Amino acid sequence: MISMNDLHLSSDDRQSINSHLDEFTRRVTATLILFCILTGIWSFSIDKILHWLLLSLDPCSGSCINIFSPDEWAATRWISAALIGLLTTAPFGMMQAYNFARPGLLPSERRMFVIWMVLVWSIGIGALWVTIGELLPWLYSIGHTTNANAGLTGKYDAAQIIRISISISWTIILVLSAISIAIIAGISGLLFKKNASWWRLRIYGIMLMMLWLIVPSGYPGLLICLSLIAIGIVEILGWPFFHADTPTGYGLESLLDKEGKIWRVLYADCSCCGTVDSITALQGMGSIYFNAVCRSDYEQDILLDTIKRFNVNRVVFSGCVLESLPPSLLDSMRFLGVEFSTLNLAHISTMRTTGNPVELEISMAKLTQPWSQNKANHRVMNLLSNYGVRSIHYGNTIPFGLQLAQFDTWICEPDESLLTKMQEIGLQLILHHD
């Protein structure tokens, strides 16, 4: 379903909420069915797995782990089987998640999503192995030694050891996952200082929710301790990305207007299927090339991706007629707070068969905002002088059939101050009424 107040891509279509919910339900149901099947399969061999785990975690020279509560041990067996089932179901679940989310993701977000899912699953398996095989046995050994030095005889509950081990392992996996999100998003240019609060809310929110689900309810102190440690580690390691400057690309620079507002202007250099010549953008403008942005869904998504990633707030099209662009693209740019205009080069280029196409460069030179009118006038006057222009045709719209001579040019809607300057140097001004 498309809303006028949302960012929508070329792949979006007008579907009802129910259709999205039906698709989501189908994919979740398929994942849950596979999860239940794999959990049932793992339940037949979970005793052997837990036996190996307890032998690894046992801090005593002789066995000092016992089962004090059979019902808790039974619950622990099923929790362990479910977690192993979750890890083995993850690849299928990741494919379902990607296929469901793909139509609503920008190209850079799709790449980041795939990299993150594969990386998190690989890191999760590796972190689980290292935590259970090395870290936890070392921690339990230190604790047991401390108890023995205090004159205590160690008798440990197998269910509690397994649950605490699961909580610590799960926390490590969540922390590594959160860190990987911050790093991948930062490297991809999706995370920077201006949108860091948005990323923190989602990273920490999901991490703490998943942590709350896995930590045993009887250990509130453990939940608080693990939560603070997790947030602290992610914040410290993600500090360079949470405080990074707005990323640069395509030559974009932050420009200031006379009121001090920051502008990031992108020139969408569209050749309109090879019918429009390319001209150089002004200093500080970013420049991205398209073949036919009005016809290509992929190029429209690239444009929106660039706007969102690099915090663009103005787009200048080269030859595109704004009315020819898809309404969904224009609505998305409005939603992102982007101003847009066109140089109308496709129409301007039809007025000349001989001579230098100075009017194409004039269309670029007369741009204002963030540049001042005086700056624009100065650029235009330099072009007129360099090309030896003698006559200026001007008006609000291009007259039908107008053909420019070698030393003529066209200026659309020139400012009064520009007209005055041209009159002062003796140029012939020819007004064309609508």
pLDDT at 57: 78
d(CA 338, CA 255): 15
Instruction: Report if pTM > 0.75.
Output: no
Phi, psi of 65 (to 5 degrees): -110, 130
Q: Quick check: 13 pLDDT over 60? A: no
Residues 85-100: tens digit of each pLDDT = 888 898 898 898 888 8
Residues 146-165: tens digit of each pLDDT = 777 777 666 777 777 888 88
Q: Quick check: 102 pLDDT over 90? A: no
Domain covering 248-343: architecture: 3-Layer(aba) Sandwich (3.40)
Q: Quick check: 40 pLDDT over 50? A: yes
Pairing of strands 428-432, 391-395: parallel
From the list 126, 128, 243, the residue with the least C-alpha distance to 182 is 243
What are the boundaries of each domain within the chain? 17-242, 248-343, 348-434
What's the rounded mean pLDDT across residues 374-380?
92
Average pLDDT, the chain: 83
What's the rounded mean pLDDT across residues 71-77?
79
